[in-house]
Amino acid sequence: MCCTSGWPIPVERARVAAIDDRIAANVIPLQVEPWLTTGANLPEDVEGTLALGDNGHCVFFEAGRPGCAIHDAKPASCAHFPFVCLIDQRGIHVTLSHFCPTSTSLLFEHTGPIEVVEGPSPLPDLEMLEGLDARDALPPVMPGAGERLMSFDELDAWQHDRIAHASIGELQADDIAAFNRARAAVPSPLSWPAAPDQLESIWFAQVAPAWRDFEEVLTRYAAAKAFASWSLYLGGGIDAAERTARIAHAVVRVECARQCRAAGRPLDRELLMNAIEQSDLLLVHYADPEALATSPSTDRRRD
Ligand code: SF4
């Protein structure tokens, strides 16, 4: 998905020579040349972005059918997809972008309890994963305790509690407002389409009848959104993380309705997979994480 999305994928200066070597050694049949697009205002360590074909596919995806023609030299952004990492004083926390179809299918196929598991780095070749680096940040303020900061043990306990009680309920009165918070966090010139007209009638006719059939899948998605939330640090703590999770619940409900309306049929596995992929395309890849984390509340109820 990331190879065909038309995204401007940054290439670190340190990787350019290795990629050039792969092209020379393997005689990679490039359909677009040069393979690197340079431009102004790039970060210091970035040489440019991967060239794209007319169809928006990465030049190395087209050349490497099937797959990536420079797999062992690909840029860091490619290697990290679909990992979403939060790095703080407790360690590195990894959740996934469900814009990746494999990540989404895991929501459907997992058996057993939902739990935080410790494991090796998903990218063992890298010294340090990329993500939100909050190692210098203080822990969030303890909710309801004035100015006292949480201990990291308390933060862990809160996170485990949120995962244990994760769920995504039915349509809420303020879902469109919450959905619009996510849209408002998308920086120009990008944009995201408005919620479908007559959301409520689509919901009750085509989504609600099947919603409970997918309760386990939705609970796993809610748990994934509750874990490693960047909003803990970008938005000022627990309230921000809960507000962002609340927005995510609204987004997946709205995207389910959009899928059902477009397909003209009730919610099924395929439509829910599409809706979850689109939800994380908006929440993880289009929306500015800080704008999302600091967006105002719509309603303090939890669902
Ligand atoms: S470099 Fe490889 S992994 Fe990265 S977008 Fe291109 S084809 Fe995909």
pLDDT tens string 256-275 = 999 999 999 999 999 999 99
Residue whose Cα lies nearest atom 5 of ligand 1: it is 3
Three-state secondary structure call for residue 23: helix
Q: How far is the CA of 2 from the centre of ligand 1 (A)?
A: 7
- Decide: 58 in ligand 1 pocket, CB within 6 A: yes
The atom of ligand 1 lying closest to the CA of 71 is 2
Mean per-residue pLDDT, 162-171: 96
Q: Are strands 10-12 and 83-88 parallel, antiparallel or unpaired?
A: unpaired
The atom of ligand 1 lying closest to the CA of 70 is 2
- Decide: 23 in ligand 1 pocket, CB within 6 A: no
Residue 206 has pLDDT above 70, yes or no: yes
Q: Could you give the CA distance from residue 100 to residue 96 in angstroms, rounded to a whole number?
A: 8
- Decide: 59 in ligand 1 pocket, CB within 6 A: no
Best substitution site from 1, 2, 3 to test ligand 1's pocket, by max atoms within 8 Å of Cβ?
Answer: 3
Query: Which of 40, 41, 51 has its CA nearest to residue 11?
Result: 51
Mean per-residue pLDDT, 21-31: 83
Q: Could you give the CA distance from residue 191 to residue 45 in angstroms, rounded to a whole number?
A: 28
- Decide: 16 in ligand 1 pocket, CB within 6 A: no
Mean per-residue pLDDT, 123-137: 89
Q: Are strands 132-133 and 83-88 parallel, antiparallel or unpaired?
A: parallel
**CB-CB neighbours of 105 under 10 Å:** 14
Res 302: pLDDT = 45
Best substitution site from 12, 37, 50, 72 to test ligand 1's pocket, by max atoms within 8 Å of Cβ?
Answer: 50
- Decide: 81 in ligand 1 pocket, CB within 6 A: no
Q: Residue 189: pLDDT band by 50, 70, 90 thresholds?
A: confident
Residue whose Cα lies nearest atom 3 of ligand 1: it is 78
Q: 28-42, 111-125, 164-178, 288-302: lowest mean pLDDT where?
A: 288-302
Q: Residue 145: pLDDT band by 50, 70, 90 thresholds?
A: low
- Decide: 68 in ligand 1 pocket, CB within 6 A: yes
Check residues 302 and 155 and name the one with the higher pLDDT: 155
- Decide: 78 in ligand 1 pocket, CB within 6 A: yes
Residue whose Cα lies nearest atom 1 of ligand 1: it is 74
Residue whose Cα lies nearest atom 2 of ligand 1: it is 68
Residue 303 has pLDDT above 60, yes or no: no
Res 142: pLDDT = 82
Query: Which of 289, 233, 284, 301 has its CA nearest to residue 104?
Result: 284
- Decide: 9 in ligand 1 pocket, CB within 6 A: yes
Q: Are strands 132-133 and 46-50 parallel, antiparallel or unpaired?
A: unpaired
Res 297: pLDDT = 73
Res 39: pLDDT = 83
E strands present in the chain: 10-12, 36-37, 46-50, 83-88, 91-96, 132-133
**The dihedral of CA 210, 245, 118, 161: what is its sign?**
negative
Query: Which of 190, 276, 239, 228 has its CA nearest to residue 87?
Result: 228
Q: How far is the CA of 69 from the centre of ligand 1 (A)?
A: 8
Regarding pTM above 0.85, the answer is: yes
The atom of ligand 1 lying closest to the CA of 67 is 7
Mean per-residue pLDDT, 275-293: 96
Per-residue model confidence as pLDDT tens digits over 95-121: 999 999 999 999 999 988 999 999 998
Mean per-residue pLDDT, 71-90: 93
Q: Calculate the alpha carbon distances from 34 to 37, 124, 178 in Å.
A: 7, 31, 43
Residue 144 has pLDDT above 80, yes or no: no
Residue 301 has pLDDT above 60, yes or no: no
